[in-house]
Each structure stands twice: as structure tokens, then as C-alpha cells.
Amino acid sequence: MNSLNINQKTLLWLSSGGVSNRMTAKLLDYFGSPGEIWDNFEFEKNNLSFLNDRIISGLTESKINFEEKLSEKLKREKVKTVTIFDEDYPVKLKHIQGPPYVLFYKGSLDDINKTTIAVIGSRKATNYGKWAAEKLTGELAELGVNIVSGLAVGIDAVAHKTALKYKAKTFGIIGSGINIVYPKKNLELFKEIWEGDKGAVITEYPFDVQPIAFNFHDRNRIISGLSDGILVIEAQEKSGTLITAGHAADQGREIFAVPGNIDSLYSKGTNALIKDGAKITRSVDDIIEEILELKERVNKQNACADMSTLTDDEIKIIYFLKSGINNLDDLSRETKIDTGELLSILTFLEMKGAIKVSSYKVSLLI
Amino acid sequence: MLSRIKTCVLYGLDGYEVDVETDLSGGLPNFNIVGLPDASIKESKERVRAAIKNSGFDFPVSRITVNLAPANLKKEGSQIDLPIAVGILAASRIIKNVDDKTFVIGELSLDGRITAIEGALPMVISMRNKEFKRAVVPEENKEECGVIEGIEIIPVGSLDRLVEYFNGNMSIEPYKSHYDLSYEQDEYLEDFSEIKGQAAMKRAVEVAAAGMHNILLMGSPGSGKTMIAKRIPTILPDLTYEESLEVTKLYSISGLLNKKGLISKRPFRSPHHTSSRTSMAGGGSNPRPGEVSLSHYGVLFLDEILEFPKNVIEVLRQPMEDGKITISRASGSFTFPAKFMLVAAMNPCPCGYLGDPNHECSCSQSQIDKYLGKISGPLLNRIDIQIEVLPVKYDDLKDEGEEETSSQIKKRIIMARKIQLERYKDMGIYTNSELSAKGIGKFCKINKESELLLKNAFEVLGLSVRAYNKILKVSRTIADLENSENIETKHLAEAIRYRSLDRKYWR
């Protein structure tokens, strides 16, 4: 691991010392920047009434040789970290309210900024819920969508497993320290995700933090924060899943809910979401419809060739389309390409997902 | 005192040899025709009597019996007038000799003139095939009959001249009409160059014409559907001699020849949507060809195809499949050829403006569904090219740019047709549109890349399965237009464009 810059060092130090995300925010407020915190902590520590003494003394103690100790531990556990000041911090997460200053993760954060859907639901899912989770996640995964979930049992586990099966990236957000696997039952799943490039297990909590109920509440904001939309498969009334949905709504994410029988306990939450305006999700098309990037991807995915393989004539046509020409007659006049040939090039372009030809006009998709 | 004169009656397009036997015998003067004559032949008694008298001959005062043999065949048609008159004159020894390699057809007027008949051409062709050497035909039918090789055509204008001819007092030069199939060229008043813009539609029509593919044009009113359809004849290649003979036969029996010889231009028929089933298919107690047959080797243009009654449209199904139509009546069943290129035009909805960017469509969805539902799947299935026509833009109308003329387009089409004729020379078909599923497998092979493209197209564009063979056939034609032996991916890509309706309207 390369040596840490002052921002990283300070944030990791605070986090490891048990300073919560909210407290970190306050400290930053107080000192002005991470560097100031690091440099002036000793002088000001008696003025920090919002931190309790145990934490302050812990921080003072751990500051000595902090970087070496942490590096060694991270290396041993194969854990990586990213802070909010880093370039590779997930873009979507940066803009939510109360973003985590530090993320610990195992695996790889590659592609985390691509289109992402959180698939969440009850731990005690019904067979219907599991079926729906597998079907919808599978279809999303086939489109290359990242799947985010909470690595719990039930729907979460189905979502991660299905994503892995279809070779989509999947990110599991947990509510404990990165070295704590909870629930134990999912150990294999944890391993599968962090081994190889299949995604990552992510948490904002430092080592050894136990999975207490309160953590999951905060964890849920990261699940929705990392996503473009959340797909709620099954949820009971007043469940953690609905909390995530609440976060999603606050963060302006699309909320998709799978409808269920009105007498099913596990569909009460999702049906209520639908009543409150969540998008009813009967098939993956309902999701694609709402998420612009997905719509485009659907078109592009159907392409039989890559964009970079456009021929000269194709590029020429795209050039004219970009200049505002949108019908066949004008195109053939401007490009001076023979009509027959023009028609055939348009087919190729449409196959490549670059354009859409409707009856009256040609529109550019790229 | 007996005479026997050869003549001919038509069944459908086939002529049958008929003997007109005339016997004069003593007894009360009487005139009887036997041998299943129909009303028009029974009436000929009066015309024959008057014509003989008015030509300056004596009508024999004796018991006249005319027998039309074979007696079991129903005969009809006014062409029997002349052989009956000749028979009577021969029986009364006014005409000395008529050899049995000569046959006589013609209608008589009361003053002895011989007037035109319908179906002279198919009769002469059939009789030539029965090894007759000479045909006596009405003067007015000489142009159509004169094109036939292997038989002498003796055109005669009146009965007295015919008697002179038979008696050897006067010779009539056998008539040969000089058929030059190209002599009517460039007579069209319309030309493709008058259509401004509409490049895609023009190209689709060119492809359709090159392969004789049926084509459906859908577009809002004023988009030029009718305009372009009317100009299709100007780009079609001229009829070959064989084709021309067949077409002329059909026109001959329908009485539509107007003294002309062979028809050299491909027929263009555009029946109105009030046409009945019979007029479309052909029929009548003695069946005549309908519009489908009259557009044989040419274009059948149905403007506003959805305004035609459904039963009239569905009549098209057999001919579009088999290239002929069979009409069954009490008097027998008749088969007429009917290989036509269907050009159909329609609006996208009852008000016509569905999808038009400039007008609002005022139709409800159920109206639209009902409207489009009128055209049946099986029929649609037989239309290879289906395209949407754009409304014309004002800018295009005033644009002074050079447009291709009909003769330029025609040149390419003629070349493409030649390639097709050559390719299918032993198969009894002329064009790509006639290819069977087996033929498609043989002649429309595509490479791996094209297969992938086609597969993708089905998924991306949502084409229906029935489009598969059509796309292949059309791409064959596009390749022929480019004189390319193999169907290349770009040809296929263009053909895919011509199924733009498939995914939108019918799925």
C-alpha cells in the first residue's frame, strides 16, 4: 500500500478510533480540514465536548505509528480503503446526505459508477419473492447492470448469487466491520464476491465493529446511495427494507416495487410502496423504461459491432445526423450516397445501436 | 349438297376446333342450327340470311340444317356467323371449294361486312397448333393475328370479297403485322423525374419492379403514393415476345385490343375500390379474365386497398400464390394466368394522418385496429416489400435538383431482369419474387456475417418470422440490381429496411 496522504490518514484514524460518521462531520466543521484535525487534535481535545473521553484517549493513543499499524492490518486482511477525498470514491455516494467519509472494502470497486440497481427485500422471503428476485436480477445482470444489496439472507443473498451467476458486478454493503462475516451462513457468498473481480464487500465501519441493529439502519443509506434505483422485491411493513426505500426516496433514486398478493405479509410493504408512488415492476422492462442509461444500453447491447468499428460512410452519416438532418431525403442529398446504399448503412447503424429509424425520421442515439 | 367448314370456339384461353356442317335438302324452306349453340349463335340465322342476300347472293330456298360438331361441346360467340354463311354458300355451290386446312372466324353485319370479334388471337394460336395452314379473320382483327408465325392470316372485310377469294377470282395477300415490341417506347406522359425527393420510396419501388415483388405503400394523404404507383409502368421492362403473346391473348378475349397488334407495354390496371369480386377475379357465365388476369405480367394497383371489400381483396390470394386463377362455373372451370405485381397503397389509419408529424390523427385506437385488421395476414404474407411513405416536404417540392428519369431507372431494371431470366431459365419462373422456399435455399445463400445481421435484426427491430424469406428474396433482387453474384451483407441490410411496417403495425 502506498503511503497515505494527510486526508486519508486522518479520516482512517478517526474511523478506526471509533469516531462515527456524524462526529467526523462535526470535527471537520470544527477544524476546517482533515489536516487541521491531525495537526491540532492534541491542542483542542479538551474543547471537543461532543466526543466522549474514551474515544479521545483512544485516538491519542492510536495516533502513534498509526499508518504502519493500519497498513499492516489492511495487508493481512486484504482490505482496501477509500475516502471521500479520493478520486476512486463512488461518485453517486458522494452526493447523498451524510456520505460515509471512509469505506473499507474487500474486492474491487471497478465499474462501481456504472448503472447500478439495488435489489433488496425481506430476509424471510417467500418462494415467490425468491423467484422474482432471481428473474429480475438475472435480467438486469444480463444487461450488465451492477447489483447492490445487503449481503443478508433471503432476497439479498438471491440477488448477489444471481448477479454472480450472470457475471455482473455485485457489491454487498454490510453493517459490521469488514473482518466480521455476518450472517455466517453467507461466508461462501462473501468469499465469492471478494475473490476475483466480481465486485466488493463494502462497509463504512472499521475493523471489529459488531453487526448491531443500529448499524444496518445507516448501512441502508449506502445501499441506496450507490444505486440509480432500488428494486424492492418483498418487504414487510415497518421493515429495514422500507427504511432503505425511504433513504432512496430522500436521495432521489427511482424506487421499483414488485407487487404481490394483498394477503401476503411479505408483500404488504411493497404494495404500500406502490400505493405511495413507487414504480410497479412487472418485468425488467419497467425498470429499463425509467433509467435512461439502461434504455440506451439496451439499444447498444443489441449491437453486433462496437462503436469503434464504424466505417467511413457510417461516420459521415452520423456527422450529418449530428448537424440536425433527420430525414432520409435530406440525408441522401447531403451525403451524396446512393439511396440503396444509404438504406443499408442505416440498417447497420441501427443494428449497432447508434441510431433509431422510425417512419419519419432518423434519430441519433449516441 | 353438303359442306363442311372449320371454325373455332374458345374455352377460357383455349380454342377448340368446330366443324360447321351445312346440309341443303328439299322440303319446306327452313333454317335450323343444331349442336348446342347458345343464344348468340341462334340469332346468327338472321344476320347470315341478311348478309348473304345483301352481298348479292341468293339465299337458298330449301331446308337448311347447320350442325356444329362435335355436338356435345357448348358453343358460343359471334365468330360462328361467318363460317355458317360460308357453309351455306358452299352447300349451294356459290363457293366452289374450301380446303380443310383453312378455318374461318368472323361476325357478320346485315350488309355483308365482316366485323371484329373478341378472342381472335387465342383462336388463331390454338388452331395453328392444330396444324391449320390458313385463317380467315375479320379485317379489324388482322393486327393482333398477324403476329403469329406458322399460319397464313387472310384478313377479309366483307362476305362478297371472301367468296371471290375462295373462288380464286381474287387473291388476298396473307397479312403479317410487323411487331416491334419497342415501338411504343417513351410514350408515357409521366416520368419518375417529376417526383421530387422521396428517395427511399423511389428506391423501394425500383427494387420491387426489378424483382416483380409485391409492394405495399403506406402513408398519409398527399405523400405521393398514387403518384409513384402511376409511374411504375414507365420503369418496367418491355414484354418479351412470349409474354406479350400471353397478355395479348387475354386482352383479345376481353375485347380490349382496339385493333392493335401485340401489346408491348406491361399492363397497368388500377381497378376502383367499388369493383366487385367477379370483376377482380374474372367470371360471368362464360368466364372472362378479371383484373388479376388483365394485369398479367404487369402491375395491379390497388389504391386505398383497405377500402376494397374484404372478399374482393381475398380473391387475390390464389393468384398471388400460383400465378393463375381458376374460375369454376356450371359450364366448366377455366384457368387464366394472373402473374402480376401487386402495388397496394393505403393510409395508416381511417383519417390518414397517423404518425404524420404535421397533422393530428383523429382516430381512436379501436378504429385504427379495425382499419388495419381488414388486411389479412395471409395476404400481407405475400407482399414482399412494405414501406412507409413520408409526407412530402415543401422544401422538396420547390427543390430544383436533378431527379433520375424513368429511362435511367428502367435501364437498371432491365439489367436486373436479364440476370434473373438467365438464372431461372430452366425453372419456369422469370423473377425473384416467384422463388419457392426451395429456390430461396438454392439461390439466396447468405454468408455468416449476414446471418448474424439478420438474426440481430429480428431481435432489435422486432421483425416477424414471416419476413425471413421475403427479406432474402428482396436482397437477391438488390444484389441483381448491382450485378452482384452473391448476396452481400449490405444488400441484406437494405432489404431489412423494406420491412418497416412489420414491426409497427402488424406483429
Cα of A115 to nearest chain B Cα, Å:
22
Instruction: Kindly list the distances between the CA atom of residue B3 and the CA atoms of B51, B58, B97, B99, B138, in Å, as whole numbers in the listed order.
Output: 19, 17, 9, 11, 22
The residues that bridge with B138 in the sheet, in sequence order, are: B156
Cα of A365 to nearest chain B Cα, Å:
14
Check if the beta carbon of residue A4 is closer than 8 Å to that of residue A38.
no
Residues from chain B contacting residue A353 (CB–CB below 8 Å): 460
CATH number of the domain that B93 lies in? 3.30.230.10
Q: Is residue A91 part of a domain?
A: no
Contact B461 A350 (CB under 8 A): yes
Do B199 and B312 lie in one domain? The reply is: yes
Contact B491 A344 (CB under 8 A): yes
Do A201 and A256 lie in one domain? The reply is: yes
CATH number of the domain that A136 lies in? 3.40.50.450
Chain B contact present for A168, CB below 8 A: no
Cα–Cα dist A267/A256, whole Å: 13
Q: Is residue B146 part of a domain?
A: yes
- Domain boundary among the residues B393, B416, B449 is at B393
Check if the beta carbon of residue B80 is closer than 8 Å to that of residue B41.
yes
Q: In this complex, which of A303, A329, A359 lies closest to B198 when CB atoms are compared? A: A329
Q: Is residue A257 part of a domain?
A: yes
Cα of B37 to nearest chain A Cα, Å:
59
Mean pLDDT of the residues in chain B: 87
How many Cβ atoms sit within 10 Å of the Cβ of residue B305?
24
Closest alpha carbon within chain B to A305: B453
Mode of pairing for the β-strands spanning A254-257 and B134-138:
unpaired
The string of pLDDT tens digits covering residues B179-236 is 665 555 556 678 888 888 788 888 999 999 999 999 999 888 888 888 888 899 889 8
Q: Is the peptide bond before B70 cis (omega within 30 degrees of 0)?
A: yes
- What angle (nearest 5°) sits at the alpha carbon of residue B332, between those of residues B326 and B335? 25
Chain B contact present for A363, CB below 8 A: no
Q: Is residue A69 part of a domain?
A: yes
Do A49 and A182 lie in one domain? The reply is: no
Tell me A49's DSSP state: T
Cα–Cα dist B242/B244, whole Å: 5
Cα of B197 to nearest chain A Cα, Å:
6
| Number of domains into which chain A is organized | 3
Which one of A81-95, B236-250, B459-473 scores highest in mean pLDDT? Answer: A81-95
Distance of CA A235 to the CA centre of its chain: 20
The string of pLDDT tens digits covering residues B99-146 is 889 999 999 999 999 999 988 999 999 999 999 999 999 999 888 888
- What angle (nearest 5°) sits at the alpha carbon of residue A157, between those of residues A155 and A159? 70
Domain range for B23 is 2-166
Closest CA to B250 of B144, B152, B328, B322: B144
Phi and psi at A145, nearest 5°, equal -80, 140
Phi and psi at A189, nearest 5°, equal -65, -45
Contact B200 A328 (CB under 8 A): yes
Identify the helix (H) or strand (E) that includes residue B128: helix B120-129
For residue B484, give every residue at least 6 positions away whose Cβ sits within 8 Å of its Cβ, in sequence order, or none.
Answer: B491
Q: In this complex, which of A327, A333, A344 lies closest to B494 when CB atoms are compared? A: A344
Q: Is residue A149 part of a domain?
A: yes
SS (HEC) of B302-369: ECCHHHCCHHHHHCCHHHHHHCEEEEEECCEEEEEECCCEEEEEECCCCCCCCCCCCCCCCCCHHHHH
Cα–Cα dist B208/B238, whole Å: 16
The string of pLDDT tens digits covering residues B62-103 is 999 999 989 888 888 889 999 999 999 999 999 988 888 999
Contact A347 B457 (CB under 8 A): yes
Name residue B474's amino acid: V
Question: What residues of chain B have any CB closer than 8 angstroms to a CB in chain A?
Answer: 197-200, 202-203, 207, 355-357, 388, 390-391, 393, 396, 401, 452-453, 456-457, 459-461, 478, 481, 490-494, 496-497, 500, 504
Q: Is residue B41 part of a domain?
A: yes
Do A144 and A277 lie in one domain? The reply is: yes
Domain range for A17 is 1-77
Cα–Cα dist B503/B499, whole Å: 8
Residues from chain A contacting residue B494 (CB–CB below 8 Å): 340-341, 343-344, 347
The string of pLDDT tens digits covering residues B330-357 is 777 888 999 999 999 998 888 888 777 6
Q: Is residue A103 part of a domain?
A: no
Closest alpha carbon within chain A to B490: A344
Residues from chain A contacting residue B457 (CB–CB below 8 Å): 347, 351
Length of chain A: 366
Half-sphere exposure of B130 (CA within 13 A, CB side): 20
* Grid cell at residue A219: 448501512
Do A330 and A262 lie in one domain? The reply is: no
Question: Would you write out chain A's pLDDT as a tens digit for each of its 366 residues?
Answer: 467 888 898 999 999 888 889 889 988 888 888 888 888 888 888 888 888 888 888 888 888 888 888 889 899 989 999 999 999 999 999 989 999 999 999 999 989 998 999 999 998 888 899 999 999 999 999 888 999 999 999 999 999 999 998 889 999 999 999 999 988 889 999 999 988 778 999 999 999 999 998 899 899 999 999 999 999 999 998 888 999 999 999 999 999 999 999 988 889 999 999 999 999 999 998 998 888 777 776 666 555 445 567 788 888 888 888 887 777 778 888 888 888 888 888 888 888 777 877 665 677 666
Contact A328 B199 (CB under 8 A): yes
CATH number of the domain that B295 lies in? 3.40.50.300
Place of cell 439502519: A217
- State the DSSP string of A331-353: HHHHH---HHHHHHHHHHHHHTT
Do A263 and A353 lie in one domain? The reply is: no
CATH number of the domain that A331 lies in? 1.10.10.10
Mode of pairing for the β-strands spanning A102-107 and A80-83:
antiparallel
0.80 cut: is pTM over it? no
Do A250 and A309 lie in one domain? The reply is: no
To probe the interface with A, which of B408, B460, B496, B500 has the most A CB atoms within 10 Å?
Answer: B460
Contact B357 A360 (CB under 8 A): yes
Do A244 and A309 lie in one domain? The reply is: no
pLDDT of residue B461: 75
Do B127 and B230 lie in one domain? The reply is: no
Cα–Cα dist A21/B433, whole Å: 74
- Domain boundary among the residues B341, B364, B393 is at B393
Across the beta sheet with B215-219, the strand order is B268-269, B299-302, B341-346, B215-219, B385-389
Chain B contact present for A348, CB below 8 A: yes
Residues from chain B contacting residue A299 (CB–CB below 8 Å): 460
Instruction: Kindly list the distances between the CA atom of residue B478 and the CA atoms of B206, B238, B384, B436, in Å, as whole numbers in the listed order.
Output: 9, 20, 13, 18
Closest CA to A194 of A246, A151, A256: A151
Sign of the torsion formed by the C-alpha atoms of A12, A16, A21 and A22 = negative
Closest alpha carbon within chain A to B223: A360
Check if the beta carbon of residue B337 is closer than 8 Å to that of residue B295.
no
Cα–Cα dist B294/B431, whole Å: 19
Query: Residue ranges of the alpha helices (H) in chain A?
Result: 6-16, 21-31, 34-44, 53-62, 66-77, 91-94, 127-142, 155-165, 187-194, 213-225, 240-250, 268-275, 284-290, 292-301, 312-322, 328-335, 339-351
Do A234 and A142 lie in one domain? The reply is: yes
Chain B contact present for A296, CB below 8 A: no
- State the DSSP string of A296-344: HHHHHHT-SS-GGG--HHHHHHHHHHHTT--SHHHHHHHH---HHHHHH
Cα–Cα dist B282/B272, whole Å: 15
Contact B390 A328 (CB under 8 A): yes
Q: Is residue B308 part of a domain?
A: yes
Instruction: Kindly list the distances between the CA atom of residue A20 and the CA atoms of A7, A41, A67, in Å, as whole numbers in the listed order.
Output: 16, 16, 20
Q: In this complex, which of B198, B207, B497 lies closest to A347 when CB atoms are compared? A: B497
Chain B contact present for A347, CB below 8 A: yes
- State the DSSP string of B382-412: T--EEEEEPPPPHHHHH-------HHHHHHH
Check if the beta carbon of residue A272 is closer than 8 Å to that of residue A237.
yes
Chain B contact present for A340, CB below 8 A: yes
Chain B contact present for A346, CB below 8 A: yes
Q: Is residue B336 part of a domain?
A: yes
The string of pLDDT tens digits covering residues B397-450 is 666 667 888 888 999 999 999 999 999 988 888 889 888 888 888 898 888 888
Q: Is residue B405 part of a domain?
A: no
Angular region, A144: left φ>0, alpha ψ -120 to 50, beta rest: left
Do A238 and A143 lie in one domain? The reply is: yes
Contact A351 B396 (CB under 8 A): no
Check if the beta carbon of residue B296 is closer than 8 Å to that of residue B339.
yes
Residues from chain A contacting residue B200 (CB–CB below 8 Å): 328-329, 332, 339, 343
Check if the beta carbon of residue A200 is closer than 8 Å to that of residue A171.
yes
Chain B contact present for A324, CB below 8 A: no
* Element counts in chain B: helices (H) and strands (E): 21, 18
Do A161 and A248 lie in one domain? The reply is: yes
pLDDT of residue A304: 41
Cα of A339 to nearest chain B Cα, Å:
6
Closest CA to B473 of B501, B431, B505: B431
| Number of domains into which chain B is organized | 2
**What percentage of chain B has pLDDT greater than the value 70?**
94
- Domain boundary among the residues B393, B420, B439 is at B393
Q: In this complex, which of B198, B401, B456 lies closest to A302 when CB atoms are compared? A: B456
Closest alpha carbon within chain A to B206: A340
Do A125 and A235 lie in one domain? The reply is: yes
Name residue A171's amino acid: F
For residue B456, give every residue at least 6 positions away whose Cβ sits within 8 Å of its Cβ, in sequence order, or none.
Answer: A302, A303, A304, A351
Cα–Cα dist A63/B6, whole Å: 128
Residue A90 three-state SS: coil
pLDDT, greater one: A361 or B43: B43
Do A7 and A155 lie in one domain? The reply is: no
Check if the beta carbon of residue B217 is closer than 8 Å to that of residue B389.
yes
How many Cβ atoms sit within 10 Å of the Cβ of residue A72?
12
Closest alpha carbon within chain A to B402: A333
- Domain boundary among the residues A274, A292, A310 is at A292
Closest alpha carbon within chain A to B200: A339
Residues from chain A contacting residue B391 (CB–CB below 8 Å): 360
Cα of B449 to nearest chain A Cα, Å:
10
Closest CA to A150 of A240, A62, A273: A240
Angular region, A93: left φ>0, alpha ψ -120 to 50, beta rest: alpha
pLDDT of residue B180: 62
Do B144 and B251 lie in one domain? The reply is: no
Q: Is residue B422 part of a domain?
A: no
Do B201 and B149 lie in one domain? The reply is: no
Do B217 and B156 lie in one domain? The reply is: no
Contact A351 B460 (CB under 8 A): yes
Angle, helix A240-250 to helix A213-225, in steps of 10 degrees:
40
Q: Is residue A86 part of a domain?
A: no
Phi and psi at B411, nearest 5°, equal -55, -45
